[in-house]
Amino acid sequence: MKITSARLEASVYRLEDLPREEKPEIVFLGRSNVGKSSVINSLLRMRNLARTSSTPGRTRGIYFYAINERFYFVDLPGYGYAEVPHAMRWAWRMLIEGYLANRPQIRLSLLIVDARHGPTPLDLQMREWLDFHHRPYIVVLTKADKLSANEVRRSAERAARVFPEVTIIPYSARTGLGREEVWRAIERALAHSPSR
């Protein structure tokens, strides 16, 4: 896809502030610090659009990036960051789940998983939840550049056992591995959107 514009349109910290626009939405979710924002930047070939950090728990709100003024990339706060106070974790969960459960505009979710560690128990919870709500998703195994080709293959096999019938794409924000394949999945999801 040719990217002609990408800009942060809204930072949302409360469900009542969600954009009222009805553009289709592509959601990026996963464990804290797994590389969600980096996937967004690398897909767009923009270094600093979505804020990245080596400090976990940096993305606090739901960020809506308007792409080509046609659809949104939605960057969610990561789950499972233990250092966050309990009350705040609860607030994040309410925000994320409230958004995911009640948003017909969502066309596809990208569950970002660290290729080195594979799906964690919280990723499995997320899977149950997405399945329960009939939300379409793919799994992106990121940071693949930190593994050998063989290890990447084994990681993809492991993920395929945990996520049978789900598209699994090894990815690296550093090398561009998987980029074209992820775009194809996004384009397919957008093409099915009734708003087009």
CB 26 within 8 A of CB 107: yes
Least distance to ligand GTP from the beta carbon of 32, Å? Answer: 4
CA distances from 13 to 64, 122, 125, 159 (A): 12, 22, 23, 32
Nearer residue to ligand GTP within complex by CB, 31 or 135: 31
Of 6, 18, 30, 37, which lies in the binding site for Mg ion, with binding defined by CB under 5 A? Answer: 37
Nearer residue to ligand GTP within complex by CB, 116 or 127: 116
**Distance from C-alpha of 129 to C-alpha of 147, rounded to nearest angstrom:** 29
| Helix (H) or strand (E) run with residue 92 in it | helix 86-101
Least distance to ligand GTP from the beta carbon of 70, Å? Answer: 23
Nearer residue to ligand GTP within complex by CB, 69 or 90: 90
Examine residue 59 and tell whether it contacts Mg ion (CB under 5 A): yes
Q: Rounded to 5 degrees, what are φ and ψ at 122?
A: -70, -35
Cβ neighbors of 184 (< 8 A, separation 6 or more) are none
Nearer residue to Mg ion within complex by CB, 4 or 54: 54
Instruction: Give the one entry of Mg ion, ligand GTP, none that residue 181 binds, where binding means its C-beta sits below a cut-off of 5 to 8 angstroms depending on kind.
Output: none
Residues that bind ligand GTP (CB under 6 A): 32-38, 52-54, 56-59, 78, 142-143, 145-146, 172-174
Stretch that binds Mg ion, among 16-24, 32-40, 65-73, 116-124 (CB under 5 A): 32-40
CA distances from 116 to 1, 140, 145 (A): 29, 12, 10
